């Protein structure tokens, strides 16, 4: 990037507007549409405005480190010294083995696996009975990531939390976890009832036995369920949460974004903003404050390929504005280079303003 570009970006008065006033800003959508870029730009804008901000990536295929150009740790760590910006990339596999971070179980006693009784139930050490097929129960990785996400939402160090969510399917499975927990609890209780007589006989033959492990498993599932319920309560509060759907100007992507909005509505999660990323138009059309010579723009007059792509995108943009009528639709132009580092992220934040 040129020096001119850096100076132009620093002149943009966009930070507080880009982040809005919500305590929690979440970006959702299918993979590859630019959720990480939007979350990183919003987090930097919020921190630049003086708000202690944590950016969380729940996507197993993390790219937050690449976007910021620094190593983002798997526990909240300070990313910059000049502004109050923290970041964390949640590793679901590691999260399932971090009893301290999960707040469940201990290192000794019944149900003391990596996640305590919950770990046993989800298929951890000694938990094969919970899942006859072996391995973790479906939703175990989402449950682990969700536990940490709720912990970070409650962290008093941060006044705003920006979340780069996993692709659509993972996000929806996370929201469905309370029902999954209810189902698991029901199956577990039925199993204990069926096996009660056998266990009593075995106690008589081999000794007193101990129900502590099973009780720990039940308690663990209930705690997960309570945390997911709290998370959904936060997500359904428009005064505290701003859920933003990210899409690209292609017909199929726009349709999928509308499906995500409909599914979120089933959970009473309001969507206020839709971000259409990678729009093939000059950046100056979206952010007039940027001198036109600062960035390379598509030549819509002489480039036949650019013109054809722009025609396709215009149809998709029109469809997006129609399908998301009543929402705030933001456009982020396609930049010639990858969006990495603070300068490019400030430009994206200006587009979101």
Every domain of the chain and the residues it spans:
102-138+182-229
User: Mean pLDDT over residues 30-42, rounded?
Assistant: 93
User: Mean pLDDT over residues 207-228, rounded?
Assistant: 60
Please report the pLDDT score of residue 213 as a whole number: 53
255 vs 176 pLDDT, higher one: 255
Q: Give me the chain's average pLDDT, please.
A: 76
Q: What is the tens place of the pLDDT at every residue in 48-71?
A: 999 999 999 987 777 899 999 999
Q: How confident is the model at residue 1 (pLDDT cuts 50, 70, 90)?
A: very low
50-64, 176-190, 205-219: least confidently modelled range = 205-219
d(CA 38, CA 348): 7
Q: How confident is the model at residue 217 (pLDDT cuts 50, 70, 90)?
A: low
* pLDDT of 352 above 50: yes
* pLDDT of 256 above 70: yes
Q: Residue 176 burial by CB count (10 A; 0-12/13-18/19+): exposed, middle or buried?
A: middle
* pLDDT of 183 above 80: no
Q: How far is CA 141 from CA 115, 144, 207, 348, in A?
A: 12, 5, 36, 31
Q: Residue 307 burial by CB count (10 A; 0-12/13-18/19+): exposed, middle or buried?
A: middle
Please report the pLDDT score of residue 22 as a whole number: 84
218 vs 232 pLDDT, higher one: 232
Most confident of 52-56, 210-214, 300-304: 52-56
Rounded (10°) angle between helices 168-175 and 212-235: 110
Q: Which residues, including other chains, have CB under 8 Å from residue 135's CB and lie 6 or more apart? A: 123
Please report the pLDDT score of residue 71 as a whole number: 93
């Amino acid at each position: 990037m040129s020096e001119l570009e850096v100076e132009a970006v620093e002149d943009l008065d966009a930070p507080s507007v880009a982040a809005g006033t919500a305590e929690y800003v979440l970006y959702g959508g299918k993979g590859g549409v630019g959720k990480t870029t939007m979350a990183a730009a919003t987090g930097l804008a919020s921190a630049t405005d003086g708000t202690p901000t944590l950016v969380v990536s729940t996507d197993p295929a993390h790219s937050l480190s690449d976007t910021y150009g620094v190593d983002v740790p798997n526990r909240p760590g300070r990313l910059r010294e000049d502004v109050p910006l923290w970041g964390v990339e949640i590793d679901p596999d590691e999260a399932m083995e971090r009893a301290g971070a999960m707040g469940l179980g201990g290192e000794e006693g019944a149900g003391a696996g990596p996640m305590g009784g919950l770990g046993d139930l989800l298929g951890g050490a000694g938990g094969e009975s919970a899942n006859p097929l072996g391995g973790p129960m479906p939703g175990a990785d989402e449950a682990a990531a969700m536990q940490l996400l709720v912990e970070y939402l409650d962290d008093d160090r941060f006044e705003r939390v920006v979340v780069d969510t996993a692709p659509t399917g993972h996000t929806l499975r996370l929201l469905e976890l309370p029902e999954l927990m209810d189902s698991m609890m029901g199956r577990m209780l039925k199993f204990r009832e069926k096996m009660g007589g056998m266990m009593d006989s075995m106690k008589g033959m081999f000794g007193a036995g101990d129900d502590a492990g099973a009780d720990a498993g039940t308690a663990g599932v209930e705690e997960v369920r309570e945390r997911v319920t709290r998370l959904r309560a936060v997500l359904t509060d428009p005064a505290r949460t701003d859920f933003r759907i990210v899409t690209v100007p292609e017909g199929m992507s726009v349709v999928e974004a509308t499906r995500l909005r409909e599914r979120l509505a089933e959970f009473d999660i309001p969507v206020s903003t839709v971000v259409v990323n990678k729009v093939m138009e000059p950046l100056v059309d979206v952010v007039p404050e940027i001198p036109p010579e600062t960035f390379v723009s598509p030549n819509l007059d002489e480039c036949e390929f650019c013109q054809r792509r722009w025609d396709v995108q215009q149809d998709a943009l029109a469809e997006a504005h129609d399908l998301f009528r009543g929402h705030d639709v933001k456009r982020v132009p396609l930049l010639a280079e990858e969006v990495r580092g603070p300068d490019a992220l400030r430009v994206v934040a200006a587009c979101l303003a």
